[in-house]
Structure 1
Amino acid sequence: MIYPARRSILIAAALAPISLAIGVAVPQYWFAGLALLLLLLLLCGVDALAAATADAVGAQWSGPRAIGVGEPFAIAVEVRAPVTGPPSIEVAIDNSPLLAGTDGHRRSVTMIEGIGDASFEFVPERRGQAELSQLWMRWRGPLGLVWRQKEALLAAHILITPDIRPVRQKSAQLLHRDAMHGMAAQLQVGEGSEFEALTEYKPGMDRRSIDWKQSARHTNLMAKEYRTERNNNIVLAIDAGRAMGDPIAGVPRVDRAISAGLLTAFVALKEGDRVSFFGFDSRPRVATNPVAGGRSFALLQQVAARIDYSSNETNYTLALSTLAARLQRRSLIIIFTDFPDTISAELMLAALKPLLSRHLVLFVSMHDEELEALASAEPTQPQDVVRSVTAAGLLRQRMLVLTRLRRLGAHVIETQHDTAGSAVMENYLRLKRRGSL
């Protein structure tokens, strides 16, 4: 495609009044103004012929084939042209609704010996398959009067997966043998629920571990050592309803929950426990059988990626009753959800009561940063007061629901989105050390 550049348009705009002035001042030479415009057209044609052809300009891209949601990444584009070609080429890249460009989608590439590089930064906002199909390049001729443009097929397919950066960042710490409970039984004195051995009591040990009968028999203080029980059942229940689609710091709540759940699943598999996923909105969507072993983490990643976004309201009664019917043994159920109103909260509390009678429930709630900002903002206008009072009322209702959950016997975690994974992991390990599972 060839079209005029800004320079030729400005020259044509400048020639128009000159041609009019010639026609008025010297009517017999009116054609001189037309000759100037024809000369400009001729120069544009020469400039187009002298510019590099579309076949001589090409581009290649490089970038990740898979990336976690919310994880910034870059697409690098290498542009090639003849050595005697244009000194600079403008490059524009296609966009995907799953990606957000952090610094625009157009770059001006300086060509050095016929090669130039451009980088486009993106942030994945949703899981799925992002497609960047087209790439546009344009360059001016030697006179700068016309643009030549080429449209190239980019065909960049990027799989946006659940974010496992917390797992990667904490893997060294979590895989340290002294950090994994049950792998060093002698460090678990006074913790856990399974009897390990009798040992001589030493200062610093828990006095409640003293076995007085055995101490009398051996005429020496003897203490019981326990080790943390393995093969527990852990269920990660992810709410994918409408309320969980709201973004926190640019990433939907459900993706924040999935990332925190995967970190907990990684730790639980290394601890020797069995983990399963359960995704739901208006009805159960994803349900897996418990899996064990570190190699099963890849399977859990694939299952978590299948938890899709939904615009349906969450049906807690159907989801939690279905989950209760699936569980054949006592389990730790970690529920990631958010309740937008008190009616949903009442339904959730009613559905949780049967689970609490048999299972251990850990409820995870992420702070609503938008409501907290509205409630704490200094009002400058009358409508700011209304927003602040409304936000404070919603936060108060939220706190009352969490208090009722605690009174029912559920363990509740209130945390920021960026520390949710660590908070859930630490609470899981604490419950495991206490033998509550």
Structure 2
Amino acid sequence: MALTGRAALLALLGTLVVLFAPRPGAAVAGVALLIAALAVVDLLLAGSVRPLRFTRAGDRLVRLGESATVELIVENPGLRRVRGLVRDAWPPSAGAVPRHLPLDVPPGERRRLVTTLTPTRRGDRQAVTVTVRALGPLGIAARQGSHRVPWSVRVLPPFLSRRHLPAKLSRLRELEGRHPSMVRGQGTEFDSLREYVVGDDVRSIDWRATARRDDVVVRTWRPERDRRVLIVLDTGRTSAGRVGGVPGSPAGQGPRTGSSGGLGPSGSGASTPPGPSVPAGSSVPAGSSAPAGPPATVPMMPGWPRLDWSMDAALLLAALASRAGDRVDFMAHDRAVRAWVSGAGRTELLSSLVNAMAPIEAELVEADSAGMVAAVMARAKRRCLVVVLTDLNAAALEEGLLPVLPRLSSRHLVLLAAVSDPQVAAMAAGRGTSELVYGAAAAERLIADRRRITARLRRQGVEVVDAAPEQLAPALADAYLALKAAGRL
């Protein structure tokens, strides 16, 4: 049983009667009995909530930043009309609206109630309990009860960096020889023979073919296909920090509403929420550090966790590598293997990755680097490109990854990618007050530590990409293409 605002209004009016009554005690008793009687009558005449039957229908997948719709179907098998409110209990991160749904179901009929979800976090957003408050005809009292009606919507990574994919695929086609530029290196495959021209590498001359012809003949090469790329995502405590702005959310606005379908099993998706403004092709060359600075079009609100930026970069790299004919595997690791995707074909790769990434959250524990290296070595027996998405935190790397990295780099080509914090670069430029100067000194020390740890990694033969949040994905893709062009992959 629940009392409504009308009961409170009646009680307020009753106080006025009591104030002017010659016998206040009797007036209080009379008013209380009247309100109680009306409430009991209203409660008896209200429709029962227990017999109600509930079913759900709607979207199961949605990209972060887009909206999904979930229908709650209410059937009334009883003999009385059920009129009132329904509260469909979703967690706050599901962004469910409206929170309370009006309900009016005649006997023997059903009604569809629609809730729109605009999630603010990845993962599985679940609703379990539906609470119904059925009002009586007087609107004074209501029957209330809860029903268990489970439903789950999986919120997938948004893959904002896919806008860079056409430009990267164009560069890949050039490397593959669909355009005149050809590449050479110890890791490339023979493509064809052609006449020597000034500027060709003399090491490419095919002397046997030259002996059979009047002209000097050279070999042309193309990048190898069917290589293996293993993407390792660090989900330890350093991946939990938020950096950058909120992509696609200008000041004063929420995320854009798009299709509710998301990237489903077919690998197709609906419209992408607008991302930060980054010119197509802007990136960081392999082995270089990107200048970190806040993007001009993204407000510096609490941004994505490093983990989400790393996921976005991993998706772009996976899409590019699969188009290049390489086999892509994925592993998420902190103290143990959190996710593993292997053997997915080109058509189902992205859907497999986003479904594996969706429920992953950063764990507030120190990553077990030795365990990660052991897991990689156990799963990758032959030489491959191992891309480690982590943070260039000097203290964490010196105690964790650096001591065990030689074991990994002795067998595999290792590329370490990290997202830098634009606010650190902004702090480093601070001047004018003592507080700003102290902040700038701390920021410069952090930047110097990142440069020092980057130099140590390169001395161990590790490629390093250190880029601002919006630049990490294209920078990592450029590093992959550079390795292809150099014949190292």
Check whether TM > 0.5: yes
What pairs up with 1:321-360 in 2 under 5 angstroms? 323-324=376-377, 327-342=380-395, 344-345=397-398, 347-360=400-413
1:12 Cα deviation after fit: 0.7
Aligned to 1:434: 486
What pairs up with 1:4-403 in 2 under 5 angstroms? 4-22=3-21, 26-27=22-23, 31-54=26-49, 60-67=55-62, 70-78=64-72, 89-96=84-91, 100-102=93-95, 106-109=99-102, 115=111, 117-123=113-119, 125-127=121-123, 129-160=124-155, 163=157, 165=159, 173=166, 181=173, 185-187=177-179, 189-192=181-184, 193-200=188-195, 207-208=200-201, 211=205, 218-220=213-215, 222-248=217-243, 249=246, 251-282=304-335, 285=337, 291=343, 293-294=345-346, 297=349, 309-320=362-373, 323-324=376-377, 327-342=380-395, 344-345=397-398, 347-369=400-422, 371-372=424-425, 389-403=441-455
In 2: Cα distance, 1:372 partner to 1:217 partner: 62
* Contact 1:51/1:148 (<8 A) preserved: yes
In 2: Cα distance, 1:119 partner to 1:32 partner: 47
Distance 1:59 1:385, change over 3 A: farther
In 1: Cα distance, 2:26 partner to 2:341 partner: 86
In structure 2, what residue type is equivalent to 1:361?
V
In 1: Cα distance, 2:363 partner to 2:312 partner: 18
Unmatched 5+ residue regions in structure 1? none
In structure 1, what residue type is equivalent to 2:9?
L
With normalisation by structure 2, the TM-score equals 0.68
Measured against aligned partners, the alpha-carbon deviations of 1:29-86 in whole angstroms (never above 9, x if no partner) come to 9635533333333333343344444268665433332445x4544343446588x968
In 1: Cα distance, 2:341 partner to 2:89 partner: 41
Aligned to 2:262: none
With normalisation by structure 1, the TM-score equals 0.75
In 1: Cα distance, 2:373 partner to 2:424 partner: 28
1:151 Cα deviation after fit: 1.9
* Contact 1:241/1:309 (<8 A) preserved: yes
Measured against aligned partners, the alpha-carbon deviations of 1:398-424 in whole angstroms (never above 9, x if no partner) come to 233224334544222223444533432
* Contact 1:67/1:158 (<8 A) preserved: yes
Residue 123 of structure 1 aligns to a residue whose secondary structure is coil
* Contact 2:87/2:100 (<8 A) preserved: yes
1:215 Cα deviation after fit: 6.7
* Contact 1:190/1:206 (<8 A) preserved: no
1:348 Cα deviation after fit: 2.9
Distance 1:183 1:112, change over 3 A: farther
In 1: Cα distance, 2:402 partner to 2:180 partner: 36
Distance 1:138 1:351, change over 3 A: same
In 2: Cα distance, 1:48 partner to 1:376 partner: 68
* Contact 1:236/1:333 (<8 A) preserved: yes
In 2: Cα distance, 1:302 partner to 1:156 partner: 17
In 2: Cα distance, 1:184 partner to 1:254 partner: 32
In 1: Cα distance, 2:242 partner to 2:86 partner: 31
Unmatched 5+ residue regions in structure 2? 247-302
Residue 56 of structure 2 aligns to a residue whose secondary structure is strand
In 2: Cα distance, 1:325 partner to 1:55 partner: 56
1:311 Cα deviation after fit: 3.1
1:278 Cα deviation after fit: 3.9
Residue 479 of structure 2 aligns to a residue whose secondary structure is helix
1:140 Cα deviation after fit: 3.8
Distance 1:226 1:375, change over 3 A: same
Aligned to 2:297: none
In 1: Cα distance, 2:425 partner to 2:384 partner: 34
1:226 Cα deviation after fit: 1.7
Aligned to 2:467: 415
* Contact 2:175/2:485 (<8 A) preserved: no
Measured against aligned partners, the alpha-carbon deviations of 1:161-203 in whole angstroms (never above 9, x if no partner) come to 6x364597778x4998x7754996443642252221113578x
RCO (CA 8 Å, sep 6+): is it higher in 1 or 2? 2
Instruction: State the number of aligned residues.
Output: 420
Identity %: 24
1:334 Cα deviation after fit: 0.7
